[in-house]
Amino acid sequence: MDQAAYTAFLEAHKEGRKSAATAALRTFIASFASSEEKAAWVAGFLETHDPETRIRHEIYDALVLPVLAKGYHASDVWSTKWLAMTVQNLYQAKHLWAQLDFVSGHALLRSWRALAPGCDEARTALLNSMIDLFRFSEHEWPEVILCGMDGATLEQCREIADQLVEARSLDRGGIWTSFLDEFEEKLSAYQQRLRR
């Protein structure tokens, strides 16, 4: 691995020299001798990466995603976590996302939680994702409770109710109790409307 090329990329990028940055990055990516070397670099890179910040697509496509996808297919906890944390990059790389059967960020969080049931970080991330889904579902209330882009059917309402039970079990500190209670009331009222 040519660390000097990566340093040159960072400097050129910081200075706004796009052509030089791209050339240095290509040199860096091409310099890896093995998949093990890539995996080691990716592990170090992600240790210092802010999950809220997107990764430059060349780095994600050529280095990060191949390492994470390999681990994900082997049910590796760390790889599954980082796929979930970098899901916005994954969504932008549709040709690579297809290799993972277009798995959603929420499904990745579920997988991470299943692989690491005692991990509070996984529990919290999944709970927050569920809260976001519930918020989306209720945003057209009182007209409908949404499931996807349409009003939920009775069967889908039952699935949402099951997810509510799961969310309550994940909400160990009771932080979301009030929101979940209100959402459950809306869901119940909507189900009654559908039964008429």
pLDDT of residue 96: 86
Q: Which of 50, 2, 51 is nearest to 26 (CA)?
A: 2
Phi, psi for residue 175 in degrees, rounded to 5: -60, -35
Measured between alpha carbons, how far is 53 from 86 in angstroms, rounded to an integer? 9
Q: Which of 43, 47, 49 is nearest to 70 (CA)?
A: 43
Contacts of 118 (CB under 8 A, 6+ apart): none
Q: What is the pLDDT of residues 75-100, one digit of tens each?
A: 999 999 999 999 999 998 888 899 89
Q: How many CB atoms lie within 10 A of CB 43?
A: 13
pTM, to two decimals:
0.87
Which whole-number Å values give the CA distances from 89 to 5, 11, 66, 143, 161, in the listed order?
23, 23, 13, 34, 31
Taking 50 as the pLDDT cut, the residues of the chain under it are none
Q: How many CB atoms lie within 10 A of CB 29?
A: 19
pLDDT of residue 196: 85
Q: Which of 38, 44, 26 is nearest to 1 (CA)?
A: 38
Q: What is the pLDDT of residues 7-25, one digit of tens each?
A: 999 999 999 999 999 999 9
Which whole-number Å values give the CA distances from 187 to 44, 147, 184, in the listed order?
45, 11, 5
pLDDT of residue 99: 86
